[in-house]
Structure 1
């Protein structure tokens, strides 16, 4: 029986933040591959700084009509950048035509 801990020789704790070059690389790759949903979620994650569990709970009405998202029980408002707005609009258009 192997009794070594599951995280042996792994870095634990908070990870380093993404560098700007990595962020742009991810965005470009998602655009090239046509992954509109992933691009919209990635941009929303960067703009809102919401945890993933709150991010996937977002509704179109929360984003498109200026609603608010609840984080730790209290509503959170955040500004969406132009790139995120365009990615969300492309995602909504893709859903309407499918």
Structure 2
């Protein structure tokens, strides 16, 4: 899967890899539990909730899924490019992206007609 990293994020990840002495085969976010080599989805969700609280926002209003969906929605609203959003989300079918974004069917069909595949 491919995704965007800002320069600041890239630098932070590189610093973490060096500090944690991670190798190519290691997980970027190892689990603290001995039975699992990586964070579970639930562990990650708890971390995100804590970060949101530290920022002063309400952790009940945000989560891992809403943050992912927000970026995709902003890209779609600014560009109206469903194909780009589909690629960024890793969806196989454009219909999945349409449902995910909650795009109106007529709007989606109109946009899809203008996208070269």
Structure of higher RCO (CA pairs closer than 8 Å, 6+ residues apart)? 1
Confirm or deny a common fold (TM above 0.5). no
User: TM-score scaled to structure 2, two decimals?
Assistant: 0.32
- Larger proportion of strand: 1
Q: With structure 1 as the length reference, what TM-score do the two structures score?
A: 0.35
